[in-house]
């Protein structure tokens, strides 16, 4: 594989996949879904009622989601993954092989967090769903 594959990507699919990954995170970390669990496990306090974080805090996850979608698009091209089923396989391989592994290794060393493995599991679950959806989009939207 080379970086030449970048010129072959369906950039609309990559952008949509990146935005979908990001949107999944917005839902995943919402307090009624896993936000409260994640914050408690990480030793973070819920924000005061009526307060919102700076919009800038969302920039890093958005950029990360788009970068992940680019990588998934490159891998889809390199492996010839261009169907729904192949997108699912690609998403699971990347999610479990990289995202889950990295999330739990990181969690293992987050000893200052009250429940580091719960924190890691919430993060890992998000990346499984996000990678899966993004891989399905980039693989099947050729």
- What is the pLDDT at residue 139? 97
- What is the pLDDT at residue 128? 98
Maximum Cα interatomic distance, the chain, rounded to a whole number of Å: 49
Q: How far apart are CA 19 and CA 115, in angstroms?
A: 30
The backbone region for 80, taken as left when phi is positive above 0, alpha when psi lies in -120 to 50, beta otherwise, is: left
What are the pLDDT digits (tens) for 9-30?
Answer: 999 999 999 999 999 999 999 9
Whole-prediction pTM: 0.91
Q: Give the list of residues 6+ apart from residue 59 with CB closer than 8 angstroms, or none.
A: none
- What is the pLDDT at residue 99? 95
């Amino acid at each position: 594989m080379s970086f030449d594959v970048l010129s072959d990507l369906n950039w609309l699919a990559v952008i949509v996949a990146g935005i979908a990954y990001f949107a999944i995170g917005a839902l995943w970390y919402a307090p009624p879904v896993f936000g409260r669990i994640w914050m408690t496990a990480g030793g973070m306090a819920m924000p005061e009622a009526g307060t919102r974080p700076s919009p800038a805090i969302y920039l890093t996850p958005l950029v990360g989601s788009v970068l992940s979608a680019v990588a998934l698009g490159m891998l889809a091209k390199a492996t010839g993954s261009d169907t729904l089923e192949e997108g699912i396989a690609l998403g699971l391989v990347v999610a479990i092989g990289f995202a889950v592994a990295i999330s739990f290794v990181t969690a293992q060393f987050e000893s200052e967090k009250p429940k580091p493995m719960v924190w890691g599991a919430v993060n890992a679950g998000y990346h499984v769903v996000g990678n899966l959806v993004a891989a399905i989009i980039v693989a099947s939207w050729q």
